[in-house]
Structure formats: structure tokens, C-alpha cells
Structure 1
Amino acid sequence: MNLHQLRTFCEVAGVHSFTKAARNLHYAQSTVTSQIQNLEDFLGAPLFERGSRGIVLTDAGVRLLPYANAMLSLAESAHRHVARSPV
């Protein structure tokens, strides 16, 4: 699991579309699909139900979302803190 996968997961969850997430992240749709599949493989659970009504989070996806948001927030906070530190 890595931050790119988590960012992609959060984007797909937010826009309910692999295509829109790819556009927003400036990725190819195949990259989004691959990142989500790798994350699902790592976690051992599907994160989205893909159906005729679009993309919805599974129970596992719902449980992961607050952790993913927290990890991304912490990573951004760490980056800001370290980037401001004098050398």
C-alpha cells in the first residue's frame, strides 16, 4: 500500500468514477484501475462495487476511507513541516 494508491482510492471514492478520477489526477484510466486492483490485492478485499449504477464503496471501502484520508493528511502535514525546517 502506498500514498499514490490511497490518493487514487480517495479520488475514486469522491467522484464515484474511475474515468473522472483519472482525469482529475492526470492519470490514464488503466493506471487508476491498476492502482485500485493492487490496493485491493494488498488488503485482500474489494473496495468498490462496479455495477450499472456506477461505482460504490463496499463495506471494506467504507472502513478504509477515513484511514486513507488520515494517512494522506499526515503525509501532507509531514511534508509541510519538513519542507519548512531550516537545514
Structure 2
Amino acid sequence: MQFQQLRSFREVAAEMSFTRAARNLHYSQPSVTAHIKNLEDYIGAELFHRAGGRVQLTEAGMRLLPHVEKIILIAEAACIDAASAGGTRPAA
């Protein structure tokens, strides 16, 4: 499981569109599709129903989403915290 896959999953779930998610993330649509497919393979469950250009979360997707949102919030907070340390490097 990779962070990019989680970000793509969260954005597709928010937009209910692979195309809009890709545009928002500045990825190509095939990249977002690959992220979701790889995440589904890793988890072993389909995360979205895809039919006629419509996207809907599956039960597995609905269960995964709150965890992914927490993971992303924690990662963002960690980056902000680390950056606030000043970014100085210790002498070698």
C-alpha cells in the first residue's frame, strides 16, 4: 500500500469521479485508475462500483475511507510538525 494510492482513493471517493480526482491531484487519469486497482489488489476487495461512467463506493470502500482520512491527516500533521523544527541539519 502506497501513500499515493491512499490519496487517489480519498479523492475518487470525494469526487465520485476518476477524471476529476486525477485533475485535482495533478495526475493522469490512467495513473489514478492504476492506484485504485493496485490498492484493490492489495486489500483483496473492490473499493468502487464502476458502471456507465458512474462511480460508487462499495461496502469495503466505505469501511476503508475513514481510516484513509485519518492516515492522511496524521501524515500531513507529521510533515507540518517536522517542518516547524526549522529544517536545520546537525553537523556531520
For Structure 1 versus Structure 2, the TM-score category normalised by the shorter chain is over 0.9
Given the two structures, how large is their TM-score scaled by the length of structure 2?
0.90
Q: How does 1:1-87 map to 2 (within 5 A)?
A: 1-52=1-52, 54-86=54-86, 87=88
Secondary structure in 2 aligned to 1:56?
strand
SS at match of 1:6: helix
Unaligned runs of 5+ in 1: none
Higher RCO (C-alpha 8 Å, min separation 6): 1
Task: Name the aligned partner's letter for residue 12 of structure 1.
Answer: V
Superposed CA deviations along residues 34-73 of structure 1, whole A, max 9, x for unmatched, are 0000000000000000013610000000000000000000
Query: Which has the greater radius of gyration?
Result: 2
* Whole-angstrom distance in 2 between the partners of 1:80 and 1:37: 30
In 1, Cα distance between the equivalents of 2:69 and 2:2? 13
Flag the structure with higher helix content. Answer: 1
Task: Give the TM-score of the pair, scaled to structure 1.
Answer: 0.95
Percent identical: 49
* 5+ residue gaps, structure 2: none
